[in-house]
Chain A
Amino acid sequence: MGRLTAAVTLFLALLTSAAHAQTDSGQIIKRLQQHSLVAGRFTQTRELHGLSRPITSSGKFIFWRHHGLYWETLSPFYQATTFTDDELISWLSPRGPAAKAAPDDRVQRHVSRILLALFAADMSTIDKLFDSRWTVDEAGWSLELTPANAAVGKVIDRAWLRGEQQLRQLRIATRNGDVSTIRFEDVMAPAALEPSRCARFNRQATLRCPDPVAADQ
């Protein structure tokens, strides 16, 4: 009898903790999805298979929900790229025009989409590509992703995301043995986008850039 009670208690405990984890991850996702505009600084460290020392770069990023991710490397040299659902735009100088379009590459596009889904906390897309495992504790949350299908597994081995209020770190191990870690700092949710930054999402000048008034809702 005592054993049964213990089993039931344990079962209930498991159940509630699972439900707890469920609501926690739900809240985290909600929080991550809260802002349509997120900007900050990043430091990327890539440990490439067969290289004795890692390659480090740093710069700024702007994520604009539904429109893309602008990735501006400032050190060790300038190179900016806008990732959107459909294309990859390169910029060779802070104010200059876009570089010649790179040839259409499906593998790259696949990677871009995953990247965008991670930034957007777009779980419906993520869950189609990965099996996800949430861990939530006092310090924050982490999410471990393992490819759910072979096509993703061909490129990515595993990915980890960590954060508190915001995404703090993204780590991706790719199939070729490379591991890339990106740390985010000074992450904010600005209400407006400078016209010169907005233009980087807006090659055809068809978008309405978020201004302080419109974003103030």
Chain B
Amino acid sequence: MRRADNAESVTAHFRLLQRLALGAFILLVLTVAYGMWHALEAGLEFETDLQALLPQADDSQLAQRAGQRLFDYGGDKIVLVIASPGRENALAAADLATRLLRDSPLLQTENIAARSEQAMEAMERLVPHRFHLLSERQRQALDSGGASSLAQQALRDLYTPRGWGRSVSLQQDPLNLLQEYLSTLQTGPQHAELAGEHLLLRSVERPEWSYVMLAARSRNSALDLDAQQAVVEAVDALEQSLQGEYRDIQLLRSGIVFHAAAAARQARSEIAIIGSGSAIGIILLFLATFASLRPLLLSLASVLFGSLCALTLCHYLFGSIHLLTLVFGASLIGVAIDYSLHYFTRVHGAGNRDTGLVSLRAIFPGILLGLVTSVIGYGSLAQASLPGLRQVATFSVAGLASAWLFVVAVYPLTAVPAPRTYPGPLLRLADAPWRLWHKLSGAHVIAVLAILGVTSLAACWWGLRTADDVRSLYKPSAQLIEQERQIQALAGNFSANQFFLVSAVDEETLLQREEQLQHLLSQLQARGVIEQWNGTSRYLPSTARQQRDYQRLQGVYGERGVAWPLMAELGVDKADQRGLRQAYIDSEEQYLLPRDWLRGAPEELKMLWLGEHSGHYADMVTLAGVQDLAELEAAAAQIEGVEFVDRVARISRLLAAQRHSASTLLAVAYASVMGLLLLRYRRPRAMLLVLAPLLSTAISLGILALAAVPLSIFHIFALFLVLGLGMDYSIFARESGDSDCRLAIMLSALTSGLSFGLLALSSTPMVQAFGLAVLLGSLFNLLLVPLVTKLDEGPAP
């Protein structure tokens, strides 16, 4: 292939092409510089929330709004619980913590005492509506003619300290009915005590311990990376000062920020490990091969340029860039460096006396075809609806293409070094895959390929399982999970992942439907399927129910109602009795309506009401301590307009759907690449080149099956990369199977193996899955390429 006499053979055509590439490169540099300058001026936005990588969970707009509402309400919220075996110790530590938090520029403390006061005020606003509000027990008592027993109880309570807590006067509510109704509205921790301004909790697990709950919000955006880190550090520092000051203090934490910060910290340290790991490996390889720093510096420049372009484009397109995109982006080094390797192994090659341009000309068809197949491979990822992988696809395609352009535009301008003889061990290593299959004849090759294929498929069929549960993709630290579990057990927080959505065309129907749901939920609560539930209809009964309760109260406030003899017996003024009677009559139509309720409702209750949207009213019913999802699904199915939203399950279902569609896209990608090969080589047999990535994909899957690693969507996406890499190797082997080329392939396999091998060590399951699959795939690519090229009538090895 190589021509000794070179100057003439470089066509004017290619020179022109290279000049065009240079022009495009300069234009790109200017654009990226401008874009970067612009982005830096506004501030680069880095995202760390893993949820942002996942698809928007819900197909229904309503559920999305509800999810957003819950995130807005709870996204920047953190709950801290100070735990100690001594009550006084815990309270003293809580005093210090409150003081320290109040001075913190990062966190805004929520005064829990003030919040419970606000809730009490909201309840007080219900006093004028007391003729329309009853507890379930009172309802049953009145329906079964028990009005006089209620009056008896009220009378007895007056004689004991039990009656001290009444909030409405005897003249307004002689039977003290409202108090019981209000007590049924209380949610939250069961064993709570307000000690000063602190909320003191007790746990069933450790009854001798005292827990003080503190709530705070981040003053900065919940998505601000540095703010998240700062909040976590502030909380760690708080724990240290508490433990320094008091004995036996534990600080439990709960909040999205802790997850996001932990994920970010992990991603950051992994970037550092993967980045430095592959950098060290690559530096050593280059020095051993070229004994010069220049190829290394140029290669790094090409990769850096590609990354910069990718970063600028992604930031421009998506408004921010996710740290995990950068993690995957770091792995690009292994692929974009292929082009440099092919150029330098040729330019530095022992017998080379060509100019840079001629050398580039020689490898150009290979690297162009390599780029196109990779772009097709990665580009298919862009069709995925997982936003995170679209970002990765964009990043990798843009990065690869820019790095490629850098090679084509800049390398021929650099000086050509003196020819060099590569170290023997390296050449032998590069030759090893070829020597491995050297003796096989064509028929044997087919037999080996067939055996490998069939065995792998059998292994897949026998043991390949899938895992789409989103929880298997993100593993928070055990410590964080345990702390959150304890806080959940203590405080019974409502879940943001599972809730009911109730909707109807008007408010009244909505509330009536929610009341039907209430009925089912009380039964589920009694059976321990859920611990608590909360919804607007708890505080705001439907008008129909208010009407019925008003009628029930005829037995109390009607002409022969039990209130009058009771009041007479106690010696209440006749005028007061008449006043109460009149108030009852006058209020008949004064129903508590949504707008009245919303005016004074505390924030955490107001949030539940989603209000009107395109002719539909909706409300959320939140749940705490969910034990059985199927029962809740079943409950929702019984009532019209009620939907059970399980965001975790939805995301998992979506991931499964994505895995299916990605598998299909992978087949499409293979078909496109085969078409491309046919176009390029104009021989059907050339299409067999896809056998290298195809078979290594099958073998990798077989190994995953045998190792009982369940297949997730991230393995599938990795297989796209296996396609890209495998095609690169096959095409170069096909274009020029000489020893320089083999060396380049080996170097490429080593560099990409290095970076992906490190990804497989990641503790983020999705990154690990990706890395493992690529590592296996590229290993088998390397081993199979010589075998597959034998099938085609390429140049003899």
Interface residue ranges, A against B (CB under 8 Å): 44, 46, 48-53, 55, 57, 71, 73, 76-77, 79, 81, 83, 85-86, 88, 103-111, 113, 115, 124-125, 128-129, 148-151, 154-155, 172, 174-178, 180
Contact = CB atoms under 8 A, between A and B. Distances in A.
A105 B180 contact: yes
B589 to A, nearest CB: 27
A155 B135 CA distance: 22
A106 B186 contact: yes
Nearest to B152: A77
Contact of B196 (A108, A149, A154): A149
B196 A129 contact: yes
B160 A57 contact: yes
Contacts of A109: 193
A142 to B, nearest CB: 20
B195 interface: yes
Interface in B153-177: 156, 158-171
B164 A174 contact: yes
Contact of B169 (A49, A57, A81, A124): A49
9 contacts: A49-B171, A53-B571, A55-B570, A77-B156, A81-B160, A108-B162, A148-B196, A150-B114, A155-B164
Contacts of A149: 113, 194, 196-197
A109 to B, nearest CB: 8
B161 A49 contact: no
Interface in B546-591: 570-573, 576
Contacts of B17: none
A154 B117 contact: yes
B183 A155 contact: no
A110 B113 contact: no
B209 to A, nearest CB: 15
Contacts of A106: 183, 186, 192
Contact of B164 (A57, A77, A111): A111
Given A50-B572, A113-B193, A149-B197, A79 B160 contact: yes
A150 B572 contact: no
Interface string B89-117: 00100000000000000000000011011
A151 B179 contact: no
Contact of B159 (A76, A88, A111): A76
Given A103-B183, A148-B196, A149-B196, A50 B165 contact: no
- Which A-B residue pairs are the 7 nearest by beta carbons? A105-B183, A128-B196, A57-B159, A111-B165, A107-B165, A108-B165, A50-B171
Contact of B180 (A55, A103, A172, A180): A103
B475 interface: no
Given A51-B571, A107-B179, A113-B193, A177 B169 contact: yes
Nearest to A156: B164
**Chain A binding surface, main DSSP class:** mixed
B184 interface: yes
Nearest to A182: B161
B180 A151 contact: no
Contact of B195 (A51, A86, A128): A128
B107 to A, nearest CB: 22
Nearest to B159: A57
A93 to B, nearest CB: 13
A73 B159 CA distance: 8
Contacts of B160: 44, 57, 71, 73, 79, 81
A105 B178 CA distance: 12
Contacts of A52: 571, 573
B164 A172 contact: yes
Nearest to B121: A154
A170 to B, nearest CB: 10
A182 to B, nearest CB: 8
Interface size class of B (residues with CB under 8 A): 35 or more
B24 interface: no
A175 B167 contact: yes
A47 to B, nearest CB: 11
A1 to B, nearest CB: 45
Contact of A110 (B156, B165, B180): B165
Nearest to B190: A104
B165 A105 contact: yes
Contacts of B158: 46, 48, 55
A177 B179 CA distance: 16
Interface centre among B166, B167, B184, B195 (most CB of A within 10 A): B166
B165 A151 contact: no
Contact of A50 (B156, B195, B576): B576
B120 interface: yes
B137 interface: yes
Contacts of A48: 158, 170, 570
Given A103-B137, A108-B165, 6 more contacts: A46-B163, A55-B158, A57-B159, A111-B161, A149-B194, A177-B169
Contacts of A129: 195-196
Nearest to B136: A103
Contacts of B91: 128
Interface in B188-224: 190-197
B88 interface: yes
A86 B570 CA distance: 31
Given A48-B570, A71-B161, A103-B183, A151 B117 contact: yes
Contacts of A178: 164, 166
Contacts of B186: 104-106
Nearest to B166: A176
A83 B161 contact: yes
A176 B179 contact: no
Given A77-B156, A105-B183, A51 B170 contact: yes
A188 B191 CA distance: 32
Contacts of B137: 103
Given A105-B180, A111-B161, A151 B167 contact: no
Nearest to A55: B158
A119 to B, nearest CB: 11
A180 B161 CA distance: 9
Contact of B117 (A86, A150, A180): A150
A44 B158 CA distance: 10
A44 B164 contact: no
Nearest to B183: A105
A155 B161 CA distance: 13
A107 B165 CA distance: 6
Contacts of B167: 107, 154-155, 175-176
A212 to B, nearest CB: 29
A83 B160 CA distance: 11
Contacts of A113: 193
A83 B162 CA distance: 9
Given A55-B570, A111-B165, A103 B135 contact: yes
